[in-house]
Structure 1
Amino acid sequence: MYFLGYDIGSSSIKCALYNANTNEIIATVQSPESELPILSPVENYAEQDPETWWQHVLLSTQQLFDTHTIDKAKISGIGIAYQMHGLVIIDSNKKIIRPSIIWCDSRAIETGDSIAKTSEEKEFLASYYNMPGNFTFSKLVWVKKNEPENFSRIWKFLLPGDFIALKMTDRPTSTITGLSEGIMWNFEKNEPAFELFDQQDVPRSFIPDIGTSFEPLGKLTESAAKKLGLPSGIPISYRSGDQPNNAFSLNVSRPGILAATGGTSGVIYGVSDQPVIDHRQRTNSFAHVNYTKKTPKIGTLLCINGTGIMYSWIRKNISDSGKSYPQLEKEAAEIKQGSEGLITLPFGNGAERIFQNKTIGGHLIGIDLNRHGKKHIIRSALEGIAFAFVYSIEILQSLGISTETMRVGNDNLFQSKVFSQTIADLAKVNIEMVKATGAVGAAIGAAIGVSYFDTIDDAFDNQNIVFKFQPQDQNPELLKSYNFWKEELKKFL
């Protein structure tokens, strides 16, 4: 049996074909090759046309089957992962009313603040686990206040993945995890946040039909199937926002295992059986993909804006942009742990949520002009980013999240031994590197959604661990460097 998975990103659309019988990833493709445009008609606005996502779903599907021939009648399910926190609004004819307000749009921050004032912060967090901030519900209320004509035409609101499911099934549907990411799920009552809709005079009827992530929520219509070149009737059996899906793709769906990625920014994601409420709002907690009303699983997400972007900046401006990252890794390895007293604060990518939205900036501290050179700076950058991850793991530990093992993909900063071993040594965490992508995870989720696999563990039974980093005896110089790093950070906080 075959399953298709789509990852609807703001940069591109990825499509994966997975053979569940052989546990084989047949192919993954991306459309377009260059990044999708993000419209910014006003400063701090970020919008995209949802129809553009759909067109690239069609193109990626065509591209995949142009190069891989299978019996399409054996495709048994479709899964969708998507960029979180976006807002799509449609009218009663299922037509888009305005461009999607996507995740990185910050226009609704003040609106979110006003929503939060409707109740005491402690009570709000007890119900929704997060403050409204700039999440989807805040964006919906922003439309009500600032675009009343558009608001009056709304039939349903959708998240980006819900829109793609609509195009495939002609049904407006969403999930519990989807509502929770938009601060539209009441965890105390275990139902949609009806009281928030009522308080803000947003009709409850705007809420689409709700299901779980692993559940057929519609089937591929004849019209959509014709455009995709697929048989009609295939169930859309999995849906999740990108960060819960990335964790799921790494087989992180129970306590004790963290998921992490180190791209331009860094993310650590842990799963808990109990509510995880951070009153300082350094983290966000949502319903994980395996959340049900009977067995609630909470995914807690911590984001560090300044990670890989710092290393990229070092490569472009300090080292040699012509050098590959493996070459930089080789040079960093020539310097001892602790970088001989040179430390890097990598937080030069805007305000950091882990510092309660303070802007720290990127800093090289302790430069000895007679001793330090480019290789020291390279190693210090890798260690400084690793220190930011260790600091973040300590935050998660303080919230009661278990951190024995961290599972990562094999296509980001964790490929660096200097970086990964630093985290393993300081945080005393076992790091397992596996081959995983969001689109493949969505395809595997689709297989679970039609009960091809009985459990998540069954689905990942043969997951390939590419490499392991295990904690080693701690070098006193490395611990000294990390403590110095934290002391310097305190000065900026």
Structure 2
Amino acid sequence: MYLLGIDLGTSSIKVSVIDAHTQQCVASAHHPEKEAEIKSLQSGWAEQSPKDWWENTQIALLKLNKTGKYQSQDIKAIGIAYQMHGLVAVDKHLNPLRDSIIWCDSRAVEIGEKAFDDIGHEQCLSHLLNSPGNFTAAKLAWVKQNEPELYSRIHKVMLPGDYIAMMLTGSITTSIPALSEGIFWDFKNDELSKDVIQYFGIEKDLIPEIRPLFSNHGEVKPDIAAALGLSAGIPVAYKAGDQPNNALSLNVLKPGEVAATAGTSGVIYGVSDRLDYDLQSRINTFAHVNYTPSQKYTGILLCINGVGSMYRWAKHNFAPNIDYKDLNTLAAESPIGSNGIKVLPFGNGAERMLGNKYTSVQFHGIDLNRHNQSDIFRSVQEGIACAFRYGLDIMKENGMTPNVIRAGHANLFLSPVFAQAFVDLSGVTLELYDNNGSVGAALGAGIGANIYADATEAFNKFGYIKKIEPLQQQANEEIYLAWKEILIKAIN
């Protein structure tokens, strides 16, 4: 028996099949091979085509089947992870009305800030646990204000993963965690937020049917099953945003447990059993995958928009012909502190942890006669690690003080320089696991389809592959304080 996981990322669609008994991945694939395009029609805008997501999903699944490592007819359930906070709007024929306004798009910041003021800060924070900010509800309000004719034709609005589920099954559903990440959910009353719906003038029937996150969200249609080599009728049994899903894939489900990721964006995500919020909305609280009205587990999320994007940009512009593994080796040739170079890695839109300010990427201290490629790439990695430390300090202000952080052994955590800098700057032990989002989504499908009794059973063969302890905290603390001084000047 097999389980299929689909991870709709910003750069590609990743798919994996796991053996439900061994909980081991038997095959993985992704598409496109090169990173997917982000359309930026104006400064601060970011869009992607839902039709491209679906095409890439199909190609990735067919690649996966060609590995011959499993019988596709033996797949019994599908799980989907997806980039959070995006807006997909479809008409009554289920066709997308426009490109998706994705997570790092900044166009709705002012709309969200005005809603925060008009609804009232205390009302928003105590009920939504967030400012409306730049999330899905505010993006929908932007469409209503700026594209009224298109808005009038909207049948349903959804998040990116809901669109892929719809294409597989024909069904459109949502969940409490999904609504919370769009800032549509009232935690105090456990219902769709009347404040948000009424303030933005959003029709309630645009919101899909609400189902438990771990449940049947539709069954694969016969024509789709035939095209993709699947059995008709298998359920999409799990849908979750990429960061809650990353936490699930790392078995981060209990209060006090913390996960991190350093992909396109950088995230620290901690689980709490309290309905807490940051007074400045620098970090955000959403319903975790295991949230229920009787067990209100939340995920406290700190996001840095441009982590992987920053490193990719540096590679493209400073070393286009060197692969990432060799870049990491090159970075290790520079000493701690990168011979004095400091980097602010904030060049991918407004940063919530900086109060929705946009500093742009900044390099400080470059000496044309002294510095080389190794210094540049180490400084980029150290700058990103400093950004994580800055965010972790905000989380500590809000009561999240981890002793251990779990992360997948992937993306920037593949770099020994970055991983050690992350640990030394945070002062927290790091456990690295051999996992990815599509594997987590597959395990989530097993829980949602009742193949596993619960998450404990789904992760009973779970263990880390590497542990990293702090080594040079004092040297890194001095680097961080100098970096922070530059940041404070940039945002004030």
TM-score norm. by structure 1 comes to: 0.90
SS for the counterpart of 1:27 is strand
Kept after mapping to 2: 8 A contact 1:286/1:298? yes
The corresponding residue for 2:7 is 7
State the shift of 1:313 in Å. 5.4
Q: 1:89 and 1:317 mapped to 2: Cα distance?
A: 35
Kept after mapping to 2: 8 A contact 1:337/1:475? no
Kept after mapping to 2: 8 A contact 1:130/1:281? yes
For residues 72-101 of structure 1, what are the alpha-carbon distances to aligned partners after superposition, in whole Å with 9 as ceiling and x for unaligned? 443221111122222222333434333333
Letter of the 2:478 counterpart: K
1:436 counterpart = 2:462:
no
The corresponding residue for 1:298 is 298
Kept after mapping to 1: 8 A contact 2:427/2:473? no
The corresponding residue for 1:492 is 490
Would the alpha carbon gap of residues 211 and 376 (structure 1) be closer, same or farther in structure 2, given more than 3 Å must change? same
State the shift of 1:186 in Å. 0.5
The corresponding residue for 2:152 is 152
Please, which of 453, 477, 480 is the counterpart of residue 479 of structure 1? 477
Would the alpha carbon gap of residues 209 and 311 (structure 1) be closer, same or farther in structure 2, given more than 3 Å must change? closer
The corresponding residue for 1:67 is 67
Would the alpha carbon gap of residues 313 and 72 (structure 1) be closer, same or farther in structure 2, given more than 3 Å must change? closer
State the shift of 1:483 in Å. 2.7
Would the alpha carbon gap of residues 87 and 323 (structure 1) be closer, same or farther in structure 2, given more than 3 Å must change? closer
SS for the counterpart of 1:238 is strand
Letter of the 2:176 counterpart: I
The corresponding residue for 2:413 is 414
Q: 2:374 and 2:73 mapped to 1: Cα distance?
A: 56
Kept after mapping to 2: 8 A contact 1:264/1:305? yes
State the shift of 1:447 in Å. 0.4
Q: 2:32 and 2:326 mapped to 1: Cα distance?
A: 29
State the shift of 1:251 in Å. 2.0
> Sequence identity, in percent?
45
State the shift of 1:184 in Å. 0.5
Letter of the 1:462 counterpart: K
Would the alpha carbon gap of residues 330 and 93 (structure 1) be closer, same or farther in structure 2, given more than 3 Å must change? closer
Kept after mapping to 2: 8 A contact 1:256/1:405? no
State the shift of 1:128 in Å. 0.7
Range 119-128 or range 321-330, more displaced: 321-330
The corresponding residue for 2:389 is 390
Letter of the 2:126 counterpart: A
For residues 357-412 of structure 1, what are the alpha-carbon distances to aligned partners after superposition, in whole Å with 9 as ceiling and x for unaligned? 33334445456788766555544443333222222211111111131111112222
Kept after mapping to 2: 8 A contact 1:7/1:81? yes
Q: 2:63 and 2:370 mapped to 1: Cα distance?
A: 53
Kept after mapping to 2: 8 A contact 1:393/1:403? no
The corresponding residue for 1:360 is 359
The corresponding residue for 2:457 is 458
State the shift of 1:331 in Å. 5.1
SS for the counterpart of 2:118 is coil
State the shift of 1:3 in Å. 0.8
Q: 1:37 and 1:426 mapped to 2: Cα distance?
A: 33
State the shift of 1:444 in Å. 0.8
SS for the counterpart of 2:466 is strand
Letter of the 1:469 counterpart: I
The corresponding residue for 1:91 is 91
Letter of the 2:79 counterpart: G
The corresponding residue for 1:200 is 200
Q: 2:106 and 2:484 mapped to 1: Cα distance?
A: 30
Matches within 5 A, 1:91-130: 91-130=91-130
Q: 1:368 and 1:42 mapped to 2: Cα distance?
A: 33
Q: 1:247 and 1:4 mapped to 2: Cα distance?
A: 18
The corresponding residue for 2:171 is 171
Range 205-214 or range 474-483, more displaced: 474-483
The corresponding residue for 1:217 is 217
Kept after mapping to 2: 8 A contact 1:162/1:174? yes
Letter of the 2:88 counterpart: V
Q: 2:206 and 2:359 mapped to 1: Cα distance?
A: 40
Range 202-211 or range 30-39, more displaced: 30-39
Aligned length: 491
Kept after mapping to 1: 8 A contact 2:105/2:349? no
Kept after mapping to 1: 8 A contact 2:104/2:305? no
Task: State the Cα RMSD in Å.
Answer: 2.8
Name stretches of at least 5 consecutive residues in structure 2 with no aligned partner.
none
State the shift of 1:273 in Å. 1.0
Kept after mapping to 2: 8 A contact 1:198/1:204? no
Name stretches of at least 5 consecutive residues in structure 1 with no aligned partner.
none
State the shift of 1:45 in Å. 4.2
Kept after mapping to 2: 8 A contact 1:177/1:212? no
SS for the counterpart of 1:465 is coil
Kept after mapping to 1: 8 A contact 2:112/2:138? yes
SS for the counterpart of 1:118 is helix
Would the alpha carbon gap of residues 385 and 38 (structure 1) be closer, same or farther in structure 2, given more than 3 Å must change? closer
The corresponding residue for 1:51 is 51
The corresponding residue for 1:449 is 448
Kept after mapping to 1: 8 A contact 2:26/2:70? no
State the shift of 1:304 in Å. 2.0
State the shift of 1:295 in Å. 0.8
Q: 1:295 and 1:115 mapped to 2: Cα distance?
A: 29
State the shift of 1:308 in Å. 4.4
Kept after mapping to 1: 8 A contact 2:425/2:473? no
Matches within 5 A, 1:255-266: 255-266=255-266
Q: 1:71 and 1:314 mapped to 2: Cα distance?
A: 41
SS for the counterpart of 1:439 is helix
Would the alpha carbon gap of residues 304 and 343 (structure 1) be closer, same or farther in structure 2, given more than 3 Å must change? same
Q: In terms of Rg, which structure is larger? A: 1
State the shift of 1:289 in Å. 1.1
Would the alpha carbon gap of residues 308 and 39 (structure 1) be closer, same or farther in structure 2, given more than 3 Å must change? closer
Matches within 5 A, 1:72-83: 72-83=72-83
For residues 276-299 of structure 1, what are the alpha-carbon distances to aligned partners after superposition, in whole Å with 9 as ceiling and x for unaligned? 311212112211111111111111
Q: 1:365 and 1:450 mapped to 2: Cα distance?
A: 52
The corresponding residue for 1:468 is 467
For residues 238-280 of structure 1, what are the alpha-carbon distances to aligned partners after superposition, in whole Å with 9 as ceiling and x for unaligned? 0011221122222222233322122344221111111231121
Letter of the 1:436 counterpart: N
Would the alpha carbon gap of residues 475 and 53 (structure 1) be closer, same or farther in structure 2, given more than 3 Å must change? closer
Would the alpha carbon gap of residues 412 and 119 (structure 1) be closer, same or farther in structure 2, given more than 3 Å must change? same
State the shift of 1:314 in Å. 5.3
Q: 2:473 and 2:106 mapped to 1: Cα distance?
A: 43
